[in-house]
Amino acid sequence: MECRTAPAEEPAAAIPRPPLVRELLLVAGLFLVYKFGRLLANGHTAEAFGNAHDVWSWERALGLPGEGSVQSALLHGDALVHIANVYYATVHFPATAAFLVWLYLRRPGHYVWARRVLAALTAAALLLHLAFPLAPPRMLDGAHLLDTGQVYGPTVYSATPATDSLANQFAAMPSLHFGWALMVAVGLIAATRSRRRLLWLLHPLVTLVVIVGTANHYWLDAIAAGVLLAAALAVIQPPHRTATTAGQRSRTLVPAEEPVLAGAGR
């Protein structure tokens, strides 16, 4: 008697879309918790500058290139550095929001996965912000870097960091600008099948150049974000892997129909 396998589980693309109102409230709630959490970490000025000197020393000990080399490239023209400032100020949130909206509409299974990964990454980043306040390189005298946002504009930060009520400027590590950009690229690569989908990696690459060149982040801020994202991705599996594993485990042997014998019933 022949045997055949039952069909695997429904593909991830067929996962039903989560309720829209619930998702809007959930994402908005997570964003507000993060914003208020960052403000709670504000005010540790002396500790933030002490950590900044340590990070600067660690980077030199590790042989990482100076952030000034990237900034010097941007400063070759006022237009280039202005574009970098605009990118830093305007792309971060809209690009991540557009990514989630597209996944919600077109890849619901990948949307749930991406939302969970971004939430885990952001929560871990908030804990690190609380535990390790860090002044960005634009504030560190020994770095000899310009605050390009204040000099060339536009900027999202106040000129007096200690009294900035809208953003915690001492939350440089990890860089969520880079972490979110990298997740957008990873998520789109996982959710699409285009041969050119690796070009999505240009988004985190450009973001890395921008955050370092504008002196808003150290190299180690981006590395820390990458490590946290890798940990989140290791724990929260993408939907196609989950579906494949489950399908393999639930696969059962089903007896094939008996072949019809020639001349049967005559």
DSSP string, 208-225: HHHHHHTTS--HHHHHHH
pLDDT for 123-151, tens place per residue? 999 999 889 999 999 999 888 999 999 99
State yes or no: pLDDT of 51 exceeds 90.
Answer: yes
State yes or no: pLDDT of 164 exceeds 90.
Answer: no
Q: Is the pTM of this model over 0.85?
A: no
Please tell me the class of the 18-25+60-156+167-242 domain: mainly alpha
Pick the closest to residue 36 from 150, 203, 165, 224 (CA basis): 165
In this predicted structure, what is the pLDDT of residue 243?
43
pLDDT for 209-259, tens place per residue? 999 999 999 999 999 999 999 999 999 988 865 444 444 444 444 444 444
